[in-house]
C-alpha cells in the first residue's frame, strides 16, 4: 500500500479541532487541489465559500443540528453546485442557456462531490482533519440567504477543516466482495451485509464503551424508513433546478 492509499484508507470524520485558524495559503492550496478534480465537459461547476464570520458559522451550526465543530474548525467551507457561471459564459458566447435541465443538476452536483473529496485528501495529506456537513441541507434556504447565493447555485455540503483534537478509530467499511462486482450486478450479498453488521456493532460498542448498540442495517432502516429532507425538491426548483 503506498502513501496515498494509506491516507485515503485512514480517513476519519474529525469533530474536535485545536483552536487554530488555517492560514489562507493552506486553504488556497487545498482548494487548488479540489479544482484539479475531474469535471464533466469542463463545466467546473463548483464554487467554494469560506465562512470566517463567527455569527454566520453559529447560524449554520444551528441549521445543522448544533454541530459545534462548524464554529471551532480552523476553516469552514460551503461547497456549492454552480450552474450560474457556465450560464453566464454561454450568454457571453451568444447562446441563452437552457434552464432547469436535470442533466445540468447532475453535472453540477457530481462536480462538487469530486472536488470536495480531492480537498479532503489534500487536507489529510497535510495532517489536518475534516468533517463533511451534509446537514446544511436541513435548511438550505437559510444557508443560501446567508451566503447570498444566486439562482442556479445551491449548497451541497459544508466542510470543517483543521488541526485534529481527537484521534477516533477508522470506521469499518463494507467488504470488497460486497461492493466490487464482475460484469453484472448479480444477487444481493445478504451474507456480506450481515458480516458488516457484526463489524459495525463491534466498532460502535468499542467507541462508546458499550453504550451504543447499532448495526449498518439498523442505521439504514432509520435513514430509509423515513422521508429525507422532502423540502429539497421544492427548494431546488425555486433555485432554478426544475429537473426537466
Tell me the average pLDDT across 24-28: 98
Place of cell 446567508: 146
pLDDT of residue 189: 96
The CA angle 128-123-153, to the nearest 5 degrees, is 125
- If one counts every other C-beta atom within 10 angstroms of the C-beta of residue 214, the result is 15
- On average, the pLDDT of the chain sits at 96
pLDDT at 208 over 80: no
Measured CA to CA in angstroms, residue 64 lies from 28, 58, 154, 201, 224 at distances of 25, 10, 16, 26, 19
What are 124-172's pLDDT values in tens digits? 999 999 999 999 999 999 999 999 999 999 999 999 999 999 999 999 9
Q: How confident is the model at residue 67 (pLDDT cuts 50, 70, 90)?
A: very high
pLDDT at 210 over 80: no
* Architecture field, domain 3-170+228-238: 3-Layer(aba) Sandwich (3.40)
Asked if 152 contacts 239 with a C-beta cutoff of 8 angstroms, the reply is: yes
pLDDT at 31 over 80: yes
What are 69-114's pLDDT values in tens digits? 999 999 999 999 999 999 999 999 999 999 999 999 999 999 999 9
Tell me the average pLDDT across 166-193: 96
Tell me how far the alpha carbon of residue 81 is from its chain's centroid.
Answer: 12
Tell me the average pLDDT across 28-48: 98
- If one counts every other C-beta atom within 10 angstroms of the C-beta of residue 124, the result is 20
Report how far residue 194's alpha carbon sits from residue 191's, in angstroms, rounded to the nearest whole number. 5
Q: How confident is the model at residue 207 (pLDDT cuts 50, 70, 90)?
A: confident
- Domain positions in the chain are 3-170+228-238, 171-213
Asked if 56 contacts 146 with a C-beta cutoff of 8 angstroms, the reply is: yes
- Nearest one of 38, 37, 45 to 103, comparing CA atoms: 45
Tell me how far the alpha carbon of residue 134 is from its chain's centroid.
Answer: 6
What are 234-243's pLDDT values in tens digits? 999 999 999 9
Report how far residue 157's alpha carbon sits from residue 134's, in angstroms, rounded to the nearest whole number. 5
Tell me the average pLDDT across 183-206: 96
pLDDT at 209 over 80: no
| pTM for this model (two decimals) | 0.96
Compute the half-sphere exposure of residue 228: CA atoms within 13 Å on the CB side of its CA: 9
Amino acid at each position: 500500500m503506498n502513501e496515498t492509499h494509506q491516507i485515503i484508507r485512514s480517513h476519519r470524520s474529525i469533530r474536535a479541532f485545536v483552536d487554530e485558524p488555517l492560514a489562507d495559503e493552506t486553504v488556497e492550496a487545498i482548494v487548488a487541489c479540489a479544482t484539479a478534480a475531474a469535471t464533466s465537459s469542463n463545466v467546473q461547476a463548483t464554487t467554494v465559500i469560506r465562512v470566517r464570520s463567527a455569527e454566520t458559522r453559529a447560524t449554520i451550526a444551528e441549521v445543522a443540528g448544533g454541530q459545534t465543530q462548524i464554529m471551532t474548525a480552523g476553516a469552514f467551507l460551503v461547497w456549492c453546485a454552480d450552474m450560474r457561471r457556465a450560464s453566464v459564459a454561454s450568454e457571453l458566447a451568444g447562446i441563452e442557456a437552457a434552464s432547469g435541465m436535470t442533466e445540468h443538476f447532475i453535472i453540477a452536483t457530481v462536480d462538487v462531490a469530486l472536488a470536495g473529496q480531492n480537498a479532503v485528501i489534500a487536507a489529510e495529506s497535510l495532517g489536518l482533519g475534516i468533517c463533511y456537513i451534509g446537514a446544511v441541507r436541513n435548511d438550505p434556504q437559510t444557508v443560501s440567504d446567508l451566503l447570498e447565493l444566486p439562482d442556479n447555485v445551491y449548497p451541497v455540503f459544508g466542510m470543517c477543516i483543521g488541526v485534529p483534537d481527537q484521534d477516533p478509530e477508522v470506521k469499518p467499511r463494507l467488504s470488497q466482495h460486497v461492493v466490487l462486482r464482475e460484469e453484472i450486478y448479480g444477487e444481493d450479498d445478504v451474507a456480506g451485509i450481515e458480516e458488516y453488521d457484526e463489524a459495525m456493532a463491534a466498532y460502535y460498542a468499542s467507541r462508546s464503551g458499550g453504550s451504543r448498540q447499532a448495526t449498518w442495517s439498523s442505521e439504514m432502516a432509520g435513514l430509509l424508513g423515513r422521508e429525507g429532507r422532502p423540502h429539497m425538491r421544492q427548494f431546488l426548483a425555486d433555485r432554478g433546478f426544475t429537473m426537466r
